[in-house]
């Protein structure tokens, strides 16, 4: 550590000037990626605007794969191509997969949708009332709701 401090500071202890001065832009991309692994996705995107090291690290697949849920490959089966049936020319990176899953993805005749929470990467789901009742043909949901209401009001 002493030699590195000597490079950063001149022999007299003052900050080195000229070409020997080290800035945030000199941070290796791998170190920047290790910092990004500990941040939430919106923070990663903001930090990517700081300099080229963070911008490069923010595009690394291993950074975004750590933010994706374990079953992201299964979830991607529900995602349409989004390009009117044209095949993609290249494989989507993990950052692109995260961005696509962060937008609502409809499924089940459009009565249900899921998405990833942009801050924590948790899976969220919305069900329409029509979806609840169309799949509840035997009245089980109504029975559960009545029992729940009785418990609350008793």
Task: State pLDDT tens for residues 85-100.
Answer: 455 556 789 999 999 9
Instruction: Answer whether residue 98 is part of any domain.
Output: no
Instruction: Answer whether residue 111 is part of any domain.
Output: no
Instruction: With H, G, I as helix, E, B as strand and everything else as coil, classify residue 9.
Output: strand
Instruction: Answer whether residue 18 is part of any domain.
Output: yes
DSSP state string for 99-128: HHHTS-EEETTTTEEEEE-TTT--EEEEE-
Instruction: Answer whether residue 17 is part of any domain.
Output: yes
* pLDDT on residue 12: 56
Q: How far apart are CA 115 and CA 76, in angstroms?
A: 11
**Percent of the chain scored above 90 by pLDDT?**
33
Instruction: Answer whether residue 3 is part of any domain.
Output: yes
Where residue 110 falls (left for φ over 0; alpha for ψ -120 to 50; beta otherwise) is: left
* pLDDT on residue 36: 92
User: Which residues of the chain register pLDDT less than 70?
Assistant: 1-20, 24-25, 81-90, 132-154
Q: Which two tokens stand for residue 79?
A: 């995602």
* pLDDT on residue 84: 47
Q: What is the pTM of this model?
A: 0.66
Instruction: Answer whether residue 49 is part of any domain.
Output: yes
Strands 105-107 and 123-127: unpaired
Instruction: Answer whether residue 117 is part of any domain.
Output: no
Other Cβ atoms less than 10 A from the Cβ of 117: the count is: 12
Residue 114 φ then ψ, to 5°:
-135, 160
* pLDDT on residue 1: 46
Instruction: Answer whether residue 30 is part of any domain.
Output: yes
Number of domains in the chain: 1
User: Where in the sequence is the domain holding 52, given as residue range(s)?
Assistant: 1-67
What sign does the dihedral 136-140-144-150 (CA atoms) show?
A: positive
């Amino acid at each position: 550590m002493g030699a590195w401090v000597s490079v950063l500071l001149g022999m007299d202890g003052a900050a080195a000037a000229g070409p020997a001065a080290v800035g945030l832009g000199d941070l290796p991309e791998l170190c920047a990626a290790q910092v990004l692994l500990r941040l939430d996705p919106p923070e990663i995107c903001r930090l990517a605007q700081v300099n080229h090291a963070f911008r490069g690290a923010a595009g690394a697949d291993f950074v975004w794969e750590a933010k994706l849920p374990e079953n992201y490959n299964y979830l991607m089966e529900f995602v349409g191509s989004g390009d009117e049936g044209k095949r993609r020319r290249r494989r989507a990176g993990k950052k692109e997969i995260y961005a696509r899953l962060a937008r609502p993805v409809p499924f089940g005749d459009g009565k249900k949708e899921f998405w990833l929470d942009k801050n924590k990467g948790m899976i969220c789901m919305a069900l329409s009332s029509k979806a609840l009742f169309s799949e509840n043909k035997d009245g089980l949901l109504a029975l559960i709701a009545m029992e729940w209401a009785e418990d609350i009001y008793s």
